[in-house]
């Protein structure tokens, strides 16, 4: 994959569109700062058409001189363009529905009307001194040949970027690659994939789009965003590194802290098993896994958690084996013998089923003491 790849993080736009999520100005600023600090070079910061309060935050983010490209989102209308031009954004993104369904149902329009909108609106932004990205909303349900006409019109008008939005998250990686490749051969401006996760395929589709010729990808921290969310920043960064050997320029050790910041600001809990940033994704209980890890961490390590500033953790539970128990006991200075070990393992299993958790150190010590052989029965 010879071309360059850039993340356009939209936590502050599509991420904040998550139902029930509303960042304060301070939270938006803090999120912009941690993203920039981690090396994200482009951020979709908000929607100027929402009004003065939103514009003020966008202005404040710009005042911080974070060294990132700022994009604002707007509909392809005169009013939204006027609001966007009043912002300090570098790129104004103009979205227009492109599926027949959305054009007709939302706007009472057709393809010809949509095509006619591109040139005058792009020109208006360019005349306002800003660069333009054209967004094809609901592109995954649109006629691919029509998408190419929109793409060509955007390029002709002077847009620097085209965004392909799988608005409803209905594509798979093969379909994504096919349509992105078709667009790639139609135009040579920047091409952004905007994938949603309704079928759990946003990251896969983002990687497929990169492979097929996309230059940019929308991401959000923790995969925040409309409904099931967008492609998670942390997944795209780590998957590009480990699957394609491509450095997205984002400091991976910063990802857990960014995730936590967005979790706090959004009020959306990150699932324990959320890839990359979930609390439990480097925690192991199963006996065979712990035994393998104790012998060589590479046995059950797809990538080193140290890349995220994290470490493996092992816990005892229903699925523990004797090596794990011996290791956990050694850590608290206890040494069960051959006869005690099976009883202790059985007690640990019962404990896990009764409490639905792992024993902590003092509980393990108690289980150890309870299962010690009674001297009266020793030969």
Ligand X SMILES: O=C(O)CCC(=O)C(=O)O
Q: Binding residues for ligand X, per CB under 6 A?
A: 14, 73, 93, 95, 135-137, 163, 165, 167, 194, 196
14 or 190: CB nearest ligand ACO? 14
163 touches which of ligand X, ligand ACO, none (CB within 5 to 8 A by kind)? ligand X
DSSP-derived 3-state class of residue 95: strand
184 touches which of ligand X, ligand ACO, none (CB within 5 to 8 A by kind)? none
104 or 272: CB nearest ligand X? 104
- CA 355 to CA 366: how far, in whole Å? 15
CB of 196 to ligand X, least distance (A): 6
What phi and psi, each to the nearest 5 degrees, are found at residue 262? -75, -35
Pairing of strands 6-9, 216-219: parallel
CB of 149 to ligand ACO, least distance (A): 17
135 touches which of ligand ACO, ligand X, none (CB within 5 to 8 A by kind)? ligand X
155 touches which of ligand X, ligand ACO, none (CB within 5 to 8 A by kind)? none
261 touches which of ligand ACO, ligand X, none (CB within 5 to 8 A by kind)? none
The DSSP output letter for 374 is P
HSE-up (13 A, CA, CB side) for residue 136:
32
167 or 252: CB nearest ligand ACO? 167
CB of 17 to ligand X, least distance (A): 7
HSE-up (13 A, CA, CB side) for residue 91:
24
211 or 227: CB nearest ligand X? 227
Pairing of strands 131-137, 161-166: parallel
15 or 287: CB nearest ligand ACO? 15
Q: How many CB atoms lie within 10 A of CB 141?
A: 17
CB of 332 to ligand X, least distance (A): 51
202 or 255: CB nearest ligand X? 202
CB of 137 to ligand X, least distance (A): 4
- CA 237 to CA 225: how far, in whole Å? 18
What are the beta bridge partners of residue 42?
A: 8, 69
76 touches which of ligand X, ligand ACO, none (CB within 5 to 8 A by kind)? ligand ACO
- CA 116 to CA 298: how far, in whole Å? 57
CB of 41 to ligand X, least distance (A): 19
- CA 6 to CA 19: how far, in whole Å? 27
15 or 317: CB nearest ligand ACO? 15
Residue whose Cβ sits closest to ligand ACO? 75
Residue ranges binding ligand ACO (CB under 6 A): 14, 17, 47, 49-50, 75-77, 95-97, 106-107, 137, 167, 226
Residue whose Cβ sits closest to ligand X? 135
71 or 328: CB nearest ligand X? 71
Give me the DSSP letters along 27-94. HHHHHHHHHHHHT--EEEEE-GGG-HHHHHHHHHHHHT--S-EEEEEEESSHHHHHHHHTS--SEEEE
CB of 297 to ligand ACO, least distance (A): 42
- CA 110 to CA 28: how far, in whole Å? 37
CB of 218 to ligand X, least distance (A): 7
18 or 203: CB nearest ligand ACO? 18
- With a CB cutoff of 8 Å and minimum separation 6, the contacts of 49 are 74, 75, 79, 80, 83, 84
CB of 5 to ligand ACO, least distance (A): 23
- CA 275 to CA 237: how far, in whole Å? 12
């Amino acid at each position: 994959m010879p071309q360059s790849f850039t993340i356009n993080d939209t936590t502050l736009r599509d991420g904040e569109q998550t139902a029930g999520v509303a960042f304060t100005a301070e939270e938006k600023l803090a999120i912009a700062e941690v993203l920039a600090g981690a090396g994200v070079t482009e951020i979709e910061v908000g929607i100027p058409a929402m009004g003065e309060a939103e514009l003020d935050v966008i202005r404040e983010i710009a005042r911080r001189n974070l060294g990132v490209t700022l994009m604002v989102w707007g509909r392809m209308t005169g009013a939204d363009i006027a609001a966007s031009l009043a912002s300090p954004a570098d790129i104004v993104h103009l979205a227009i529905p492109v599926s027949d369904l959305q054009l007709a149902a939302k706007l009472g329009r057709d393809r010809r009307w949509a095509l006619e909108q591109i040139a005058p609106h792009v020109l208006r932004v360019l005349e306002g001194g800003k660069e333009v990205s054209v967004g094809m909303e609901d592109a995954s349900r649109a006629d691919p040949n029509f998408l190419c006409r929109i793409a060509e019109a955007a390029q002709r008008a002077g847009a620097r970027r085209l965004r392909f939005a799988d608005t409803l998250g209905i594509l798979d990686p093969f379909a994504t690659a096919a349509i992105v490749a078709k667009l790639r051969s139609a135009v040579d401006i920047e091409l952004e994939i905007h994938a949603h996760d309704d079928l759990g395929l946003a990251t896969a589709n983002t990687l497929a789009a990169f492979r097929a010729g996309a230059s940019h990808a929308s991401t959000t921290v923790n995969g925040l965003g409309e409904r099931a969310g967008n492609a998670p920043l942390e997944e795209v960064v780590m998957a590009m590194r480990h699957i394609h050997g491509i450095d997205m320029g984002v400091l991976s050790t910063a990802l857990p802290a960014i995730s936590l910041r967005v979790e706090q600001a959004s009020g959306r809990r990150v699932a324990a098993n959320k890839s990359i940033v979930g609390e439990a994704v480097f925690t192991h209980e199963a006996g065979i896994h712990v035994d393998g890890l104790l012998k060589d961490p590479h046995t059950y390590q797809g990538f080193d958690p140290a890349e995220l500033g994290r470490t493996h953790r092992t816990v005892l539970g229903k699925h523990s084996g004797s090596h794990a128990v011996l290791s956990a006991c050694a850590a608290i200075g206890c040494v069960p013998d051959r006869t005690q070990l099976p009883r202790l393992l059985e007690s640990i299993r019962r404990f896990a089923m009764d409490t639905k958790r792992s024993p902590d150190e003092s509980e393990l010590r108690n289980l150890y003491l309870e299962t010690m052989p009674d001297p009266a029965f020793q030969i």
